[in-house]
Structure 1
């Protein structure tokens, strides 16, 4: 496992590694997707932040509008995201 000092400067920075694309959807830049050896851990770190929870809620809303998830699944996922956000505040 890498030491925190060995990670690139962009590590866990949601706006650098998963920015909003021109079509209104978040996209992983090519340099992250193909060339970064810590991309999975980096994205996990970014999604574990307050901004990551907001991104998760964006995805839930898009899924609901597309009919991909039911009302109850939406409610459950949003509740889980909210609980993770509360844990971060402690």
Structure 2
């Protein structure tokens, strides 16, 4: 397991590790994607924040609009995201 002191300053910061790209979609920067040894845990940490849950809900909405997700799947995934938000540490 990685020591907290060994983690980069950007660890878990949604706006640094999954910022909005020029096309209006979030993108992982190249320096994170190819060169960071803790990229998976970092992105998981970032997506576990309230802002990360909001991003997940935006993805769900986009998927529904383009027909990639049914109403019931959308409802289920939004409910799961909402529950994670309620159980988060403040």
TM-score (norm 2): 0.96
- What residue is the counterpart of 2:19 in the other structure? 19
Q: Is 1:83 aligned to 2:90, yes or no?
A: no
C-alpha offsets along residues 11-33 of structure 1, whole Å, 9 cap, x if unaligned? 00000000000100000000000
- Once the two structures are superposed, the pairs formed by residues 63-74 of structure 1 within 5 Å of their partners are 63-74=63-74
TM-score (norm 1): 0.96
Point out where structure 2 has 5 or more consecutive residues left out of the alignment: none
Q: Is 1:31 aligned to 2:31, yes or no?
A: yes
Equivalent pairs counted in the alignment come to: 90
Runs of 4+ with >4 A deviation: none
Deviation at 1:66, TM superposition (A): 1.1
Q: State the superposition RMSD in angstroms.
A: 1.0
- What residue is the counterpart of 1:45 in the other structure? 45
Which secondary structure state, in structure 1, belongs to the residue aligned with residue 87 of structure 2?
helix
C-alpha separation in 2, matches of 1:53 and 1:14 = 11
